[in-house]
Structure 1
Amino acid sequence: MIINNSTSLPIEKKIDQLYASIHKLIGDIVFEIDALTCEALENETLNFTTKGIYHLFGFLKTNNEQQPWSIILKVIKPDSEEKDDIQHHNYWCREALLFESKLLDHLSEYIKTPKTYLVEEQNDGTIWLWMERVNGCFANSKEQFDFIANRLGMFNAEYLTVKAIPNESWVCKSWLKSWTTSSRMYAPNPESYINQIQDQEVKYIWDWFKKLTEELNEKLASLSNLPRVLAHQDLGQKNMFLTPNEQVVLIDWRFMSISGIGEDLGKMFGVNMSLGIIPTDQYEDYRDSLFYSYIKGMREMGWEGDERLARYGYCISTALRSIWEVPQLCSLAAQLESNPTNPKLQDRVYQLKQIINIHKVMEYEANSLREHIGILITQYSRCGPDGPLV
């Protein structure tokens, strides 16, 4: 076997595991590996609990024929003490437990996930996840994002119509509460310099933000009363693949949770604004078309509930991303006043202002829905997930 390893990963000691994984890839066929290349996938935004992601590929020989093979190897690791808590939104071991449970093997036909070949604990405390390499592309247009939102609606609606909610102890039950708690812990604290900032728009945003944080527990509690669905909760562009046969494949399930309807869509919209994937001048168009597509998917699966429930979850989960992004804006605005000609700072401050303006509008809309939501939730709890909501 020819081995080309450009990483520090001791892949040469894992040939048995490699053979076992390829057997699951191609079936019960006798083969020999001719060539193996191990490359680290470049990723500037690796999660705290991810040590590395690697692409293993090469050629194998079977029946005197040579054919290519390709596998993804993800190495996860412990991080801080808080991430040892099974209910933390970023519990470091969740994805390994998820793969071992085979829960995703019975996922919806509307949302797919990579096949897992092997979950392997290491002596250094890390866990290696050997899995399928997905052949697909990332969403880059509103039409593609709408398609994913539609499939997400179908996926969520299955848990309101035909599927039972998973009850494993390591599935996060209060994802947004955990995420906002961590965000407040690690975000910049502008209190000491906010009054020195000259940008009046930033000051108005800060005043709105203070009121938002005062009502945070109440808003989180209201989300916990929404109809519950299985959620991915990390729908950034690079975690969503569109395959040539028009399937949606989601990777990186470490944030998997039981959440209220609309929450997963709020994460999808909010995080792709933050990452700069959604163009700044199209925020409003995406906001409305994503929700329309999501509800359409839910209706196609037979959910007949009141869409205001989903709209509420969508608006609140998007708006609460300000818990992280408003402190970031204040910090960068202060830097910009000290360095006013810095184009990167100018662009990022402008982008964050536009994002937070969307957050504000969606928070106001959620507030206007609150009086209806209480009645609807009462009706939901009396009727059950299959009962009529008017």
Structure 2
Amino acid sequence: MDDETAIALSGELVKSAAISYFDDSSVEIDGWTATASDVGFGQGDVFFVEIDASIRGTNRPISLVCKRLPYNEEHLDSHSLWYWRREAEVYGDLLAGNRDLPGGITAPSCYKIAEGDEQIWLVLEHVQGANLQDFSYDELLESARRIGHFNGHYAAHTDEAAKFGHWTSRDWIKNWGNRSNIDETWSRYREDFDACEYVRKASPQEVVKTRLDLAREARDLPDRYDTLPKTLCHLDVFHKNMLRGQSNQLVLIDWAFTGIEIIGADLSCLVNFALLVPSSGTAGKEGQFERDILDAYIAGVQDAGYDCDSDLVRFGYYAATTVRWGGMILGKWPYESATWPKVKAWCGVETREEHADLVRRWHDYMISVMKNALQFSKRLNNSNGAH
């Protein structure tokens, strides 16, 4: 860890965390170690902290997660993509005093929110459960049902979601999509295609051209889905942020993007990452998996008491996936020596050839999603025009 972070994660903070964990001021710290955790494909300020603690002579070792939220003057807008305080707001508001959420979803316990001038430290429970890589096909469907219930609850109870309005992100999917430049994506892809056999196998030119043509056609899609139902969403339900907790609870971590989005948006990451993790039993079953997981999600929405046209939920999923993922072409970076070990571990494949096959099938799936999004959009426009 760098010097600044090493100083910030101090013995004083560790002792304060242990006192909060045990709710006992007599805690003594005999030693502690902190190991930085990889977050995504970069190094984040997340640390697994092992504390050799004792209370009145009895050894009480504990394991905690300490997460640093650094102050960033460029991200002060509480509704923006990257609002720097958002996860602290989630734990201090949405999850304050009760980490059990609608649908049987839970989050790590938060033992302390330590605020400073330049940073906030979150002291969290270290949940040591299996993540999406180890979920079975049926467990993925059950997870989708629970997430649907969570989204459906807040769609049905907009007054509850409104209480969090001072810190929730707004138009997260739309703003994410606005960051992509299709012409630049095509230019980078052509360079990678010429230089790398992996790219030529994983992403044939005619397939990529079809995807980017559809992405251009879908540029005004966000304006068309503004009439869809909105709800409170996690917005980063993917691979490393889903854990199977005790009693088969679905534990969601990393709430930094939480916001108000169209219903169905929370499925976007879940489905796309599941398709790139063949150990879940989804490989070669893209169409069936989509049907099954949408049915499970919609059942959860309805179980929560939200009465909504199921086609609008499907459109929400297709639209969110198209806007967020439609213009994303992986290129050669999964192949490169610096990133391949993580890609291999994440996707559960042994060779780059296997991964290229996964990506090739994912392109085909994305093309079908984008076509569905555009068809649903036209149908919705025609229906509105008829009225």
Task: Tell me which interval the TM-score lies in, with the shorter structure as reference length.
Answer: 0.7 to 0.9
Give 1:54 shift: 1.0
Distance in 2 (alpha carbons) for counterparts of 1:204 and 1:227: 35
In structure 2, relative to structure 1, the CA distance for the partners of 1:350 and 1:184 (3 Å cut) is farther
Q: What are the residue-to-residue correspondences of 1:362-377 with 2, within 5 Å? A: 362-374=369-381
Q: Does 1:320 align with 2:307?
A: no
Asked if structure 1 preserves the Cα contact closer than 8 Å seen for 2:39 and 2:46, the reply is no
Give 1:260 shift: 0.6
Distance in 1 (alpha carbons) for counterparts of 2:383 and 2:71: 41
AA at the equivalent of 2:19: H
Q: TM-score, normalised by structure 2?
A: 0.78
Tell me which of the two structures has the higher relative contact order, counting C-alpha pairs closer than 8 angstroms and 6 or more residues apart.
2
Distance in 1 (alpha carbons) for counterparts of 2:101 and 2:158: 9
Give 1:99 shift: 3.0
Match of 2:347 in 1: none
CA deviation map 1:220-251 (0-9, x unaligned): 12232211111111112221111121221111
Give 1:367 shift: 2.8
Match of 1:338 in 2: none
Give 1:7 shift: 11
AA at the equivalent of 1:93: R
In structure 2, relative to structure 1, the CA distance for the partners of 1:91 and 1:71 (3 Å cut) is same
CA deviation map 1:312-346 (0-9, x unaligned): 111222233444533x34x67999xxxxxxx9654
SS of 1:362's equivalent in the other structure is helix
Match of 1:356 in 2: 363
In structure 2, relative to structure 1, the CA distance for the partners of 1:210 and 1:12 (3 Å cut) is closer
Q: Does 1:92 align with 2:76?
A: no
Q: TM-score, normalised by structure 1?
A: 0.78
Give identity over the alignment, percent: 19
Q: What are the residue-to-residue correspondences of 1:249-268 with 2, within 5 Å? A: 249-268=251-270
Match of 2:95 in 1: 104
Give 1:209 shift: 2.8
In structure 2, relative to structure 1, the CA distance for the partners of 1:8 and 1:38 (3 Å cut) is farther
Q: What are the residue-to-residue correspondences of 1:19-34 with 2, within 5 Å? A: 19-27=15-23, 29-34=24-29
Q: Does 1:120 align with 2:94?
A: no
Distance in 1 (alpha carbons) for counterparts of 2:250 and 2:38: 21
Q: What are the residue-to-residue correspondences of 1:132-147 with 2, within 5 Å? A: 132-139=125-132, 140=134, 141-147=136-142
In structure 2, relative to structure 1, the CA distance for the partners of 1:344 and 1:90 (3 Å cut) is farther
Asked if structure 1 preserves the Cα contact closer than 8 Å seen for 2:182 and 2:216, the reply is no
CA deviation map 1:236-283 (0-9, x unaligned): 222111112122111101111211111111221123435666553233
Give 1:157 shift: 0.7
In structure 2, relative to structure 1, the CA distance for the partners of 1:11 and 1:146 (3 Å cut) is same
Q: Does 1:298 align with 2:301?
A: yes
Count of residue pairs the alignment pairs up: 359
Asked if structure 2 preserves the Cα contact closer than 8 Å seen for 1:99 and 1:116, the reply is yes
Give 1:370 shift: 2.8
In structure 2, relative to structure 1, the CA distance for the partners of 1:8 and 1:232 (3 Å cut) is closer
Asked if structure 2 preserves the Cα contact closer than 8 Å seen for 1:333 and 1:349, the reply is no
SS of 2:107's equivalent in the other structure is coil
In structure 2, relative to structure 1, the CA distance for the partners of 1:155 and 1:192 (3 Å cut) is closer
Give 1:120 shift: 2.9
Structure 2 alignment gaps of length 5 or more: 337-349
Match of 2:287 in 1: 284
AA at the equivalent of 1:359: M
Distance in 1 (alpha carbons) for counterparts of 2:325 and 2:158: 33
CA deviation map 1:162-205 (0-9, x unaligned): 35223534311111112122343997442794898696973322
Asked if structure 2 preserves the Cα contact closer than 8 Å seen for 1:55 and 1:72, the reply is yes
Q: Does 1:175 align with 2:169?
A: no
The one of 136, 143, 153 aligned to 1:148: 143
Distance in 2 (alpha carbons) for counterparts of 1:60 and 1:204: 60
SS of 2:237's equivalent in the other structure is coil
